Amino acid sequence: MRAVVAPEPGTPEVLTIEEVSDPRPAAGEVVIDVVAAGVNRADLLQRQGNYSPPPGAPTWLGLECSGTVTELGDGVSEWQVGDQVCALLTGGGYAEQVAVPAVQVLPVPRGVDLIEAAGLPEVACTVWSNVIDVGKLQPGETLLVHGGGSGIGTMAIQVAKALGARVLVTCGSDAKVQRCQALGAEGINYRTDDFVETTKNLTDGRGADVVLDVIGAKYLTRNVDVLAKGGRLVVIGLQGGVKGELNLGALMGKRASVHGTTLRARPTVDKGRIVAAVRREIWPLIESGAIRPVIDRTVDWSDAGDAHRAMESGENFGKILLRVTDG
């Protein structure tokens, strides 16, 4: 089969389609004929040589896909050949086929087309595990999401609104602020306004109960400042650096907590638990129309470099998808 590979680390131009070995399903796995793959910021890091795939994962890119089940490994009974599905992957989604543990597979939600479904697993699983499971966001609480216009941000806004929470987001442009407002969030342009001051003004000085952070070190002090009493800061991205200084006094005074998680390197059993929860709690919201996939654009997989360039320059609002076959 063919896959998009980065033969050496580098700029988007290194991405090229090459022949790679066909996947074989291990026990408990299915093989999917891929129709579309989601592009994630982690793919840019992997292409640059800064995010190695975990042992055993395909070396080519891609953390999620949609398509049709074509083969079942030993012991798989929950999926049939011919099922239209999407899946959370540990790698290898930018390819004609991929093998994936059956527990990481989800049905295509009713009302969502097969291509759009490729953009759901990574954001739905990341948002459920960090905002709901770790962050424990409750109805009536306030969530602050950094990067409201990202793939992650557009899903976080919708999940939190459906839960009955208030959502504030930071964005780098007024255009993205407006599009987040259309999804139900209150927007802060981080280039012109201070997010701590604005959040406190909007919440009568309380602050945010949960902060979903994709910046890391550069925002650590301000993220602790913006937390309400009992607040939870959940760091899932390090776009602003890895090492920061944490004011433990401020954290203790607020009885607040700081969490950090990654999804890709988790054991299959853990991913299976998250996928099952997403199917139970998020899928019905998508099928009812309360949450919809926010797709910025879909490009042919031969133009994967253009897709990476677009994400790198921050053009996207929501997900960028690669069309791998016509399905």
Ligand X SMILES: NC(=O)c1ccc[n+]([C@@H]2O[C@H](COP(=O)([O-])OP(=O)(O)OC[C@H]3O[C@@H](n4cnc5c(N)ncnc54)[C@H](OP(=O)(O)O)[C@@H]3O)[C@@H](O)[C@H]2O)c1
* Contacting residues toward ligand X, per CB under 6 A: 40-42, 122, 126, 146-147, 149-153, 170-173, 176, 190, 214-215, 236-237, 239, 261-263, 311, 314, 316
Q: Measured from the CB atom, is 15 or 171 closer to ligand X?
A: 171
128 or 283: whose CB is closer to ligand X? 128
Q: How far is the CB of 71 from ligand X (least distance, A)?
A: 28
Give min distance, CB of 304 to ligand X, in A: 15
Phi-psi region of 16 (alpha: psi -120 to 50; beta: other; left: phi over 0): beta
- Check if the beta carbon of residue 159 is closer than 8 Å to that of residue 167: no
Q: How far apart are CA 214 and CA 208, in angstroms?
A: 16
- Shortest Cβ 9–ligand X spacing (Å): 17
Nearer to ligand X, 85 or 295 (CB): 295
| Shortest separation between residue 147's beta carbon and ligand X, angstroms | 3
CA distances from 13 to 51, 86, 225, 309 (A): 18, 28, 41, 9
Q: How far is the CB of 191 from ligand X (least distance, A)?
A: 8
Q: Give the residue with the Cβ less far from ligand X, 166 or 271.
A: 271
CA 256 – CA 232 distance, rounded (Å)? 6
The whole-angstrom distance between residue 315's C-alpha and the CA centroid of its chain comes to 17
Give the residue among 121, 186, 193 at the shortest CA–CA distance from 160.
186
> What DSSP string runs through 1-18?
-EEEE-SSS-SGGG-EEE
* Residue (4 or 263) nearer to ligand X, CB: 263
